[in-house]
Amino acid sequence: MDPAAASVFAPRFGYIPGMRRVLLLMSTTTYRAGAFLDAARRIGIPVTVGSERAQALEWANPVGHLTLDITDARRSLPAIEDFARGCPVGAVLAADDDGAELAARAAHVLGLAHHPVTAVAATRDKHRMRERFAAAGLPTPRFERVSTADDTGAIAARIHFPCVVKPLWLGASRGVTRADTPAELERALERVAHLLRAERGRTGFPRDAEPVLIEDYLPGVEVALEGLVTAGRMRTLALFDKPDPLEGPYFEETIYVTPSRLPRLTQHAIEQRAGDMAAALGLAHGPVHAELRVNDHGVWPLEIAPRSIGGLCSRALRFAGGASLEELILRHALGMPGADAEREREASGVMMIPIPRAGTLRAVAGVAEARRVPDIEDVRITIPIGDSLVPLPEGSRYLGFIFARGLSPGRVEDALRSAHRLLTFEVEPSGADPREAGRT
């Protein structure tokens, strides 16, 4: 790096000449930028952001930004290699799913510790993930890869109901639909086909986007686990309860609360199973976010991703010394001390505010009142007034996030629900809600 560039970078990121930097891959629409960059400033490490275009933000300078298509590894890898020759890179991280595979490939090319490319690729294909779990002997529901163009009657004749339809490559529960009858299965496959056809226009989205996964519906309590894997061994950072039942027909997550209120033996079984999931895929070094279900037959793997929790949800976590989740991830990636910090003892949680109906957001009321609820730390509305609202299973955004911290998980959950009840949203309808299609 030339001295002039270093002098520009230093006051903004605490740059030390010769210090290795983190290359952080993200789309410009991510929620995660601020959290990672604030963590980097706090611990004084240089960060270069790789995204499709520079933003008019503090970090968007010649050293702080690298223009990349994070969904196209073939085109972007040479640019990353060229950049690394002039600026020492000590770690490559992806803020979200979109950049996960490029991060793995770049880390491999640069000789940096990371989850292997094959493991990350397996997490991006729900059918391949199920195959890996089954091959490792993990409890797995019956599953089958089908095409949305297949004869629905033939599919219905050989599967079991209730079932769940899952697009292979989409995240955030998009397109995931429960079907209890052949008629519901037909409607679910039609909606998924429409969604996938719309996604084909995205750069880097698989061309054969029609295949989907159909698997037996798993009843039970759902949990989420945040972990850090080091040399193949996983350490649990937080285990979240999801107190709202996720039974379908769509699987919109709302409340996460930690620590878990499940029995300690059950928590231990969940942690062990999450480690088994990571090992089955070969995830070896970096953050993981795992989803699991618990019922009378044990702990069942749902999915695991080579990244931390999405959206703004990481703000619900705080570690020793006030460290954020992103700070632990950055320290871990660079091999710095402090990545082993323990989560604070106080209970905490987040509510992802669901979209009530399709339309245009015209007004939001009650935010100030919600913030005054005891144990509430903040209420963030993240969709601007005037934006279109698209609910699940087609949509990928929440209206915002509510954060709480208190003496017990029960108090945190109550605070989140109380704050949400004070919020009102004016939504101007923009046509029929797709979730009502086919209903009587």
Q: Which one-letter DSSP state was computed for residue 341?
A: P
Tell me the C-alpha to C-alpha distance, in Å, between residue 212 and each of 125, 130, 133, 215, 281.
10, 12, 18, 10, 20
Low-confidence spans in the chain with pLDDT less than 70: 1-19, 54-63, 200-209, 431-440
Q: Which of 127, 12, 133, 96 is nearest to 314 (CA)?
A: 96
Q: 435 with 369, same domain?
A: yes
Q: Determine the number of helices (DSSP H) and then strands (DSSP E) in the chain.
A: 12, 19
In a domain, 408, yes or no: yes
Q: For 4, what's the count of Cα atoms within 13 Å in the CB-facing half-sphere? A: 2
User: Is the same domain home to 96 and 147?
Assistant: no
Instruction: Name the domain boundary from 97, 115, 133.
Output: 115
Q: Position of tokens 């989740």?
A: 325
d(CA 336, CA 330): 8
| Token output for 380 | 């963030």
Backbone angles phi, psi at 55, to 5 degrees: -110, 155
User: How far apart, in whole angstroms, are the C-alpha atoms of residue 323 and residue 173?
Assistant: 29
364 domain-assigned:
yes
316 lies in some domain:
no
| Per-residue pLDDT reduced to its tens digit, 169-182 | 877 788 899 999 99
Gap between the Cα atoms of 355 and 399, Å rounded: 6
Q: Which residue has tokens 């209420």?
A: 379
Decide if 167 is inside a domain.
yes
As a whole number of angstroms, the distance between CA 46 and CA 27 comes to: 19
Block residue for tokens 């033939």: 154
Per-residue confidence (pLDDT) for residue 311, from 0 to 100: 87
Q: In what side-by-side order are the strands of the sheet with 424-428? A: 388-389, 359-365, 424-428
Q: Is residue 34 within 8 Å of residue 7, measured between CB atoms?
A: no
Strands (E), 306-385: 347-353, 359-365, 376-381
> Is 39 in the same domain as 100?
yes
- Local structure of residue 342 (DSSP, 8 states): P
Taking each helix axis from N to C end, the angle separating 325-334 and 33-43, rounded to the nearest 10 degrees, works out to: 60
Given 188, 216, 244, which residue is the final one in a domain?
Answer: 216
Question: If phi over 0 gives left and psi between -120 and 50 gives alpha, with beta otherwise, what is residue 429?
Answer: beta
User: Which pLDDT score, from 0 to 100, does residue 291 have?
Assistant: 97
Structure tokens at 325: 């989740």
Residue 194 has a pLDDT of: 86
3-state helix, strand, coil in the chain (%, to 5): 35, 25, 40
Is 305 inside a domain boundary?
Answer: no
Token duo for residue 240: 């979240």
Domain boundary among 71, 97, 115: 115
283 closest CA partner among 117, 110, 130, 139: 117
Q: Is residue 200 part of a domain?
A: yes
User: Counting beta carbons within 10 angstroms of the beta carbon of residue 123, is it exposed (0 to 12), middle (13 to 18) or buried (19 or more)?
Assistant: buried
Q: For residues 132 and 277, what is the distance between their CA atoms, to the nearest angstrom?
A: 9
Query: Same domain, yes or no, for 96 and 9?
Result: yes
- Adjacent-strand bridge partners of 363: 426
Residue with tokens 């929620």: 31
Q: In CATH, what number is assigned to the domain containing residue 9? A: 3.40.50.20
For residue 34, the enclosing domain spans 3-115
pLDDT of residue 268: 98
Which residue do the tokens 């409340």 mark? 255
Q: What span, in angstroms and rounded, lies between the C-alpha atoms of 33 and 26?
A: 8
Q: Edge-to-edge, what's the strand order for the sheet holding 255-258?
A: 298-305, 286-295, 221-230, 233-241, 255-258, 347-353, 400-406, 376-381
User: Which CATH number goes with the domain that contains 386?
Assistant: 3.90.1170.50
Backbone torsion region of residue 204, taken as left when φ is above 0, otherwise alpha when ψ lies between -120 and 50, otherwise beta: left
Nearest by Cα to 106 from 133, 131, 73, 75: 73
> How many domains are contained in the chain?
3
pLDDT at 57: 45
Asked whether residue 361 is domain-assigned, the answer is yes
